[in-house]
Amino acid sequence: MNETKQKIIEKTVQFVKEELKNAEGGHDWWHIYRVWKLALQIGKEENADLFVVQLGSLLHDIADSKFNNGDEEIGPRLARNFLIEMNADSSTIEHIDAIIRNISFHKTFDKKKFNSIELQVIQDADRLDAIGAIGIARAFNYGGHKNFAIHIPGIEPKLNMTKEEYKKSDAPTINHFYEKLFLLKDMMNTKTGIMLAEKRHEFMERYIAQFMKEWEGEL
Ligand code: ADP
Ligand code: NI
């Protein structure tokens, strides 16, 4: 990667750290850091454009609609304005815009309009950070942030929710494992992503099995 691109990446890191300094713990700079590292690793294996992979992973949650009254334009707009300021070329800007608009889990409810290997790589990295040990921590942190219950026996997970139902769900955090986290393994895009997801998935299964035993005072 040439020096200009390297400089843009460094500036992007600074910009994202500043923008996310008050973010909820599961969507903060460290989520971005982990996704960035994972995306680079997967992107190398998959021969993706590593400039786009890095910019896209760094900017993918720059302003999440769920923390901005559902506004789905604010993230793409912030990223676009920043990249224009960085003098990034227009094809990169369009690509990053499309990635941010299409990466999110709730976007899978919409008809797919855009695809690229770079989107697939970043989406896999983002999904990997939602499962495994980190995924468990993020789910309970988000549930705590929203004051959701940890677990309420008898409230069954809802599969096949509509986008609106998913977005306004206030179900116990354990339900989120069945409504989203356990589904992610089979939604991975790349060979490398699938491989990495398997280990993290298996860890979550062991965690939930232990959780349910402890809930009933066993073990
Ligand atoms: P996206 O931002 O890709 O649309 P989400 O907002 O569903 O995806 O998930 C982002 C993070 O917040 C994930 O780690 C996820 O587990 C957590 N999260 C989202 N919704 C819930 C929920 N209802 N209960 C617990 N954790 C949640
Ligand atoms: Ni993310």
For residue 167, give the ligand nearest its CA.
1
Determine whether the shortest distance from the Cβ of 92 to ligand 1 is under 6 A. no
Tell me which amino acid residue 163 is: K
pLDDT number for residue 72: 84
- Please, how many CA atoms are within 13 Å of residue 158, restricted to the half-sphere of its CB? 13
113-126 in b/e burial notation, b at 16+ Cβ within 10 A? eeebbbbbbbbbbb
Determine whether the shortest distance from the Cβ of 77 to ligand 1 is under 6 A. no
Q: What is the pLDDT of residues 2-22, one digit of tens each?
A: 999 999 999 999 999 999 999
DSSP annotation of 65: G
Distance CA 29, CA 53 (A): 17
Distance CA 5, CA 203 (A): 37
The arithmetic mean of pLDDT across residues 64-93, rounded, is: 91
For residue 24, give the ligand nearest its CA.
1
Distance CA 88, CA 94 (A): 10
Distance 162 CA to ligand 1 centre (A): 15
Distance 32 CA to ligand 2 centre (A): 7
DSSP annotation of 190: S
Q: What is the pLDDT of residues 166-207, one digit of tens each?
A: 888 999 999 999 999 999 999 999 999 999 999 999 999 999
Distance 144 CA to ligand 1 centre (A): 12
Find the distance separating the first CA and the last CA of the chain, reported in whole Å. 53
Determine whether the shortest distance from the Cβ of 123 to ligand 1 is under 6 A. no
Distance 176 CA to ligand 1 centre (A): 8
Dig out the tokens for 199 from the structure: 């280990």
Determine whether the shortest distance from the Cβ of 176 to ligand 1 is under 6 A. yes
Dig out the tokens for 90 from the structure: 């227009």
Distance CA 99, CA 67 (A): 19
Q: What is the pLDDT of residues 103-157, one digit of tens each?
A: 986 666 666 679 999 999 999 999 999 999 999 999 999 999 999 999 999 999 9
* 24, 142, 161, 204: residue to mutate for ligand 1 pocket, most atoms within 8 A of CB: 142
Q: Which pLDDT band holds residue 68 (cuts at 50, 70, 90)?
A: confident
